[in-house]
Structure 1
């Protein structure tokens, strides 16, 4: 994604860039979307939204689903 606008977000792990690009195109293919500047921004954005959803789901499963106070603690 190298448009004329500068990116504001910086990757914490620059080596992840290629993997994220591949992930983006895999989701776009699943959705039947051809990514590009000539597409409606809502379609391009839906791919990014789905990426975030999947990354959150993965992170939650990796930490054992302990987000949101679901640890079964005894605090009442």
Structure 2
């Protein structure tokens, strides 16, 4: 069986990288979580990283739902 692993962290739309990074900082600030300035998240508590990821997911779903509602509202 060939080992064709795909990194699940690969962005589907690479142009969204900067916007997602900005969203990460906004969410962390809203939650009162300090992000490391050097970009290394290895010392960050798993609970904090999970909270940030969870809120980002909720926010992305909200954005997508709003776009879909606007597209199909007639």
TM-score, with structure 2 as normaliser? 0.69
Off by >6 Å, runs of 4+ in structure 1: none
**Over alpha carbons, which structure has the higher Rg?**
1
Structure 2 unaligned blocks of 5 or more: 1-6, 36-40
Q: Which has the higher contact order (CA 8 A, sep 6+)?
A: 2
Aligned length: 59
Which blocks of at least 5 consecutive residues in structure 1 are unaligned?
1-6, 66-76
Q: CA deviation at 1:22?
A: 0.9
Which residue matches 1:37? 42
TM-score w.r.t. length of structure 1: 0.68
In structure 2, how many angstroms separate the alpha carbons of the residues matched to 1:62 and 1:9? 24
